[in-house]
Amino acid sequence: MRKRTLGSQGLEVSAIGLGCMGMSFSYGPPPDRREMIGVIRAAVERGVTFFDTAEVYGPFTNEELVGEALAPFKGQVVIATKFGFKPDPGGGPRWAALDSRPEHIREVAEASLRRLRVDRLDLFYQHRVDPAVPIEEVAGAVQELIRQGKVQHFGLSEAGAGTIRRAHAVQPVTALQSEYSLWWRKPEAEVLPTLEELGIGLVPYSPLGKGFLTGKMDESTPFDGGDFRNLLPRFSREARKANQAMVTLLQGIAARKRATPAQIALAWLMARKPWIVPIPGTTRQHRLEENLGADALELTPEDLRGIDLAAAEIPIQGARYPEALERLTGR
């Protein structure tokens, strides 16, 4: 597995990371814990050194899972986690309350250190921008944690260009995590140029469109009752039927390149910039192998032009999030 450096702060990670959220959260009943530990450790064996979690995934259980799985590899891997939500003790939606007060950030850091079984958080993201707390205070709180040796790198998630600049002026931001893929390209307008100017890496989550771009589902694919895609307008039956054109495009290119649609989608992302590191999630080892195969896939300039021209002719149907959650992004 090749390595990449996230921006100019020197954080080197594998070219493809592993998003661990779905191993305990969001996509229906949690899979078997021992099997998920096996998937994470198989990723390490294949050269993956970058793993993504958050306190709110579960809540808390995903950090505990990742901490147990990666305990034998202390010092060999980079673990990213997040603060900024206040999990609802009554079991309500994870986005029910934002909380990026400095005292809460410190509390989350201490708890995440324990659950992840580490002495320092490698990359600590603000999960969503909290309009009640100036971003300068947030950056200052993380800066103090860095001075104390409890955090190594500061990150933001789904922040807008202006917020990124303000945070970076207080404490250099190493990476921005944002949804980015062939069917969500909004970051290209303002965010990517800002990251390039400031020397900040990009970590695209949902690089495979929450599974849709793999070509493994269509409008008739059922979701478990606990699968959060049931709440997403882009995953309505009508939207999935309309958006199948993007999958058809990827399937055609994959056939020519002797690859899979998922590998084409990931290779396209990595070809955009050398400081982009996608974190596809999976709960199956054979899908892990498939995703990591994108590291060896080279798309030529002609391939990339063809993909962009064809994709520009495909209007994507359906909002990516319900309105309540979409309001938390891009601020």
d(CA 144, CA 279): 28
pLDDT at residue 26, rounded to an integer: 87
d(CA 199, CA 192): 10
d(CA 197, CA 173): 12
Give the residue carrying structure tokens 């990150």. Answer: 155
pTM of the model: 0.96
Tens digits of per-residue pLDDT, 62-118? 999 999 999 999 999 999 999 999 877 665 555 568 999 999 999 999 999 999 999
| Average pLDDT value over all residues in the chain | 95
Catalytic residue among 27, 57, 125, 205, which?
A: 57
Give mean pLDDT, residues 256-285.
Answer: 98
Give mean pLDDT, residues 288-305.
Answer: 96
Q: Which two tokens stand for residue 228?
A: 């959060």
Beta strands 78-83 and 50-52 are parallel
| Domain at 3-326, CATH homologous superfamily | NADP-dependent oxidoreductase domain (3.20.20.100)
Tens digits of per-residue pLDDT, 131-179? 999 999 999 999 999 999 999 999 999 999 999 999 999 999 999 999 9
Question: What phi, psi does 142 have (nearest 5°)?
Answer: -70, -35
pLDDT at residue 328, rounded to an integer: 85
Catalytic site includes residue 205? no
What value does the CA radius of gyration of the chain take, rounded to a whole number of Å? Answer: 19
d(CA 282, CA 187): 24
Helices (H), the chain: 33-45, 61-70, 102-116, 135-147, 161-170, 191-198, 237-257, 261-272, 285-292, 301-312, 323-326
Do 1 and 48 touch, CB atoms closer than 8 A? yes
d(CA 197, CA 220): 44
Parse the chain into domains and list their residue ranges.
3-326
